[in-house]
Structure 1
């Protein structure tokens, strides 16, 4: 039984790590937004933007180190990798806004349902963007010894 669980863990290790660090990223995003909301007089768009930047930076660092195991090759290589990561997240942020607008404003659907569906789509796109474009040269697989 233990060996079977270990085998399952190693088979899905990358997805488990992605989910764990994704939850941590979400907590950071919400916490930063909340702190800025309560301790500054700034507009919520500014607060959301700062929270998004910090959470995406955290996400990049944790995805690089703990999900896709992407070694640092050079400062310029890491910078380009980070730009690609942020570009993908920015693209899906705009896609998120578009899906929310279509689902809520144009189709008059339930906001929570639209947000959940949109979130699932965005998470999947972000995972594949990271796996296939950002960290494609990484040692993604560990052996199940």
Structure 2
């Protein structure tokens, strides 16, 4: 029974694990930047960039097992990934701004909530549009 569950949801479980790694990178970078006195959005963008690097390579090879087909295919896939992630960054920045500046909530709690919302959106888009075998 557990074996069937793991087999059925393997890509989602691996995605959640590597998403957790990327989340630690993102939140850790964000909090470190705040601690050293950087503007919260600067830390947010730097955390996003580092997390996207972790996420692309883990999604490509470990989560969705997207094969290497050619350099051109890889560049198009990488471009698609970053374009989608830029939209996620905009959502990320909006949530952070609303939570910290408008609502005056704790920056750590806002960032954790933000990562959950953006992570779910990123999974859906990555699974169905970027790493789909029929693309390109």
Q: Answer with 1 or 2: which has the greater Rg.
A: 1
Instruction: Decide which of 71, 74, 80 is 1:78's aligned counterpart.
Output: 74
- 5+ residue gaps, structure 2: none
What pairs with 1:54-69 in structure 2 (closer than 5 Å)?
Answer: 54-69=50-65
Inter-partner Cα distance in structure 1 for 2:74 and 2:24: 25
1:9 aligns with 2:6: yes
- Greater relative contact order structure (CA < 8 Å, 6+ sep): 1
Inter-partner Cα distance in structure 2 for 1:20 and 1:115: 18
C-alpha spacing 1:26/1:103, structure 2 compared with 1 (3 Å):
closer
Inter-partner Cα distance in structure 1 for 2:20 and 2:113: 17
C-alpha spacing 1:24/1:118, structure 2 compared with 1 (3 Å):
closer
- 5+ residue gaps, structure 1: 139-145
Match of 1:110 in 2: 105
| TM-score normalized with structure 1 length | 0.72
- How far the C-alpha of 1:72 sits from its partner, in A, is 1.0
- How far the C-alpha of 1:30 sits from its partner, in A, is 5.7
- How far the C-alpha of 1:117 sits from its partner, in A, is 3.1
RMSD of equivalent CA atoms: 3.0
Match of 2:118 in 1: 122
Inter-partner Cα distance in structure 2 for 1:134 and 1:95: 19
SS of the aligned residue for 1:23 comes to: helix
- How far the C-alpha of 1:11 sits from its partner, in A, is 1.4
Q: What is the aligned residue count?
A: 129
Using the TM superposition, name which of 69-78 and 110-119 deviates more: 110-119
C-alpha spacing 1:118/1:61, structure 2 compared with 1 (3 Å):
same
